[in-house]
Copies of this chain bind each other. A is one copy, B any other.
Amino acid sequence: MPSRPPRPRLEDVAARAQVSTASVSLVLRGRPGPSAATREAVLEAARDLGYRADRTASLLARRRTQLLGVTMDVRSTFHAELLEDLQAAADERGYDIVVSPLTRTRDERRAVESLLDFRCEALLLLGPRLPDAELAALAEEHHVVAIGRRARAAGVDVVRAADDVGVGLAVEHLAGLGHRDITFVDGPRGPIATVRRQGYRRAMKRLGLADSSLVVDGGGDEESGARAATALVARAPRPSTGRVLPPPPGREATRGRPRMPSAVVAFNDRAALGLLDRLRRDGVDVPGEISVVGYDDSPIARLATVDLTSVSQIPEAMATAAVEAATQRLDDGRTEPVELVLEPQLVVRGTTARRESP
C-alpha cells in the first residue's frame, strides 16, 4: 500500500547537506575529491533522509550497469548450486546478477534477449544448448561465457570441468577396488555425453580393461537410469545364485553377452539414482554385488539415504572462474577468449566397495 511520500532524491540530500549534487554523488560512491567535512555532512544527510540511490537513473548516467546476466535451468539442482556461487563471486567484485530462467515456454534465446534488455554487460550461460554458430554470433556483440560445456565458438569464453578426466577418476577408483567389468551408462545425445563417454573409453584402455568396456544406453534422468538397470539385471538372471561369468578374452567380444557388470559409472547423479532404485528393488545389493558411481555430486547424492559416490565438478571453482572471466573482459580489457578447464574431484561414498570375489 505505497502511500506516496516520494522517495528522496540526490538533490534532497544535497540541499540538506548544503552542498551540490555532484559532491553528494562523489561521497556516496566513495570517490576521492570531497573533503572530510563534506563527506560527513553528506553521509549524515543521507542517513537522515533514508536515501537510497535510484539504480535506474544511476545506470543511465554512467555508461555501466555492473550487471552480469545468467541463464539457467531452474529445475537443475546443479545450476542452482552454480548460481549460489556465482552470486557470491559477483558480489565480491561489485557486480550484481540478473537471473533469466529457462522454462517450457521460454527458451534460451528469449532468456538471453531478456538479459540484454536489462543491459547486462556480460552473459554467463549455464550449460547452453545454443548451437556454436549462434554463440559465436552473440559473442560478436557481447561478452559471453559458456559454463559447463565445451564450445567451439569464436570469441566465447569457456569455463568447464574436464569431464573425461572426471569419468577417468571414477573408473580408476573402481579398478583400484578390484573391478574389471565396469560399464558406462550413457547420457542424452550431446557434447557433454560425448566427452564423458570418451573419458570412459580412454580410461578403460589405459587400465588395460578395454576388453571389458561396455557402454549401455541411458539418458539424463531417473527414468533412463532405471531402464539401464533393467537391461543390466536382465544379463544376470536373478535371483538364481548363478555366478557372474568371467569376461572371455578378445576385444569387446563381450558385447551382448549375458553378464552383469560388477561396477557401473552413470552419466549423472539422476541416472545413477534411477539405477540404484531399480537395482535395489530387484534385490541387488549395492555395493555388495555392484558398485555405482554418479556424476555431479548433487545434493541428492549427499543424502544419507542415497550416499552416492560421485564426481564433483566443483561448482564454486567454476563459478569463480566464470565471474573472473567476465570481469577480466569488462575491467581489465582482455579481448582474447579463454578456455578454463577445471579438474573434477571424485567424492567417494557408500555405493562403491571392493569387488567381492576376485
A87 interface neighbour in B105, B223, B304, Cβ under 8 Å: B105
Docked-complex contact B277 and A118, CB < 8 angstroms: no
A1 interface neighbour in B59, B84, B91, B139, Cβ under 8 Å: B139
Q: For A141, list chain B residues within 8 Å (CB).
A: 2
Within the complex, the shortest CB–CB distance from A284 to chain B, in Å, comes to: 12
Is the C-beta of A129 less than 8 angstroms from some C-beta in chain B? no
Docked-complex contact B54 and A119, CB < 8 angstroms: yes
Within the complex, the shortest CB–CB distance from A256 to chain B, in Å, comes to: 26
Docked-complex contact B56 and A119, CB < 8 angstroms: yes
Docked-complex contact B55 and A118, CB < 8 angstroms: yes
Question: Interface centre among A57, A99, A222, A274, by most B CB within 10 Å?
Answer: A99
Q: For A139, list chain B residues within 8 Å (CB).
A: 1
Question: A248 vs B320: C-alpha distance in the bound complex, in angstroms?
Answer: 61
Docked-complex contact B75 and A299, CB < 8 angstroms: yes
Docked-complex contact A74 and B74, CB < 8 angstroms: yes
Is the C-beta of A152 less than 8 angstroms from some C-beta in chain B? no
Is the C-beta of A88 less than 8 angstroms from some C-beta in chain B? yes
Q: For A118, list chain B residues within 8 Å (CB).
A: 55
Return the chain B residue nearest A141 by Cβ: B2
A101 interface neighbour in B52, B55, B99, Cβ under 8 Å: B99
Question: A299 vs B155: C-alpha distance in the bound complex, in angstroms?
Answer: 37
Is the C-beta of A278 less than 8 angstroms from some C-beta in chain B? yes
Question: A192 vs B14: C-alpha distance in the bound complex, in angstroms?
Answer: 47
Question: Interface centre among A57, A80, A335, by most B CB within 10 Å?
Answer: A80
Within the complex, the shortest CB–CB distance from A164 to chain B, in Å, comes to: 29
Digitize A49-89: 1 where CB-to-B-CB distance is under 8 Å, 0 elsewhere.
00010111101100001000000001101001001100110
Task: Please provide the chain A residues from 1 to 27 with a CB less than 8 Å away from any CB of chain B in the complex.
Answer: 1-3
Question: Interface centre among A3, A54, A74, A114, by most B CB within 10 Å?
Answer: A74
Question: A99 vs B69: C-alpha distance in the bound complex, in angstroms?
Answer: 12
Docked-complex contact A223 and B274, CB < 8 angstroms: no
Is the C-beta of A343 less than 8 angstroms from some C-beta in chain B? no
Question: A140 vs B1: C-alpha distance in the bound complex, in angstroms?
Answer: 5
Is the C-beta of A226 less than 8 angstroms from some C-beta in chain B? yes
Q: A1-B143, A84-B105, A139-B1 are in contact. Are A116 and B222 (CB under 8 A)?
A: no
Is the C-beta of A303 less than 8 angstroms from some C-beta in chain B? yes
Digitize A85-111: 1 where CB-to-B-CB distance is under 8 Å, 0 elsewhere.
001100100001011110111100000
Q: For A114, list chain B residues within 8 Å (CB).
A: 96
Return the chain B residue nearest A105 by Cβ: B88
Q: For A357, list chain B residues within 8 Å (CB).
A: none
User: Which residues does A use to contact B, with CB under 8 Å?
Assistant: 1-3, 52, 54-57, 59-60, 65, 74-75, 77, 80, 83-84, 87-88, 91, 96, 98-101, 103-106, 114, 116-119, 139-143, 155, 221-223, 226, 274, 277-278, 280-281, 299-300, 303-306, 335, 337
Q: Can you list 5 A-B pairs with a CB-CB distance of less than 8 A?
A: A1-B155, A54-B60, A54-B119, A84-B104, A280-B280
- Nearest 10 A-B pairs (CB), nearest first? A84-B103, A74-B80, A99-B99, A226-B305, A1-B155, A55-B117, A56-B60, A56-B59, A277-B305, A222-B303
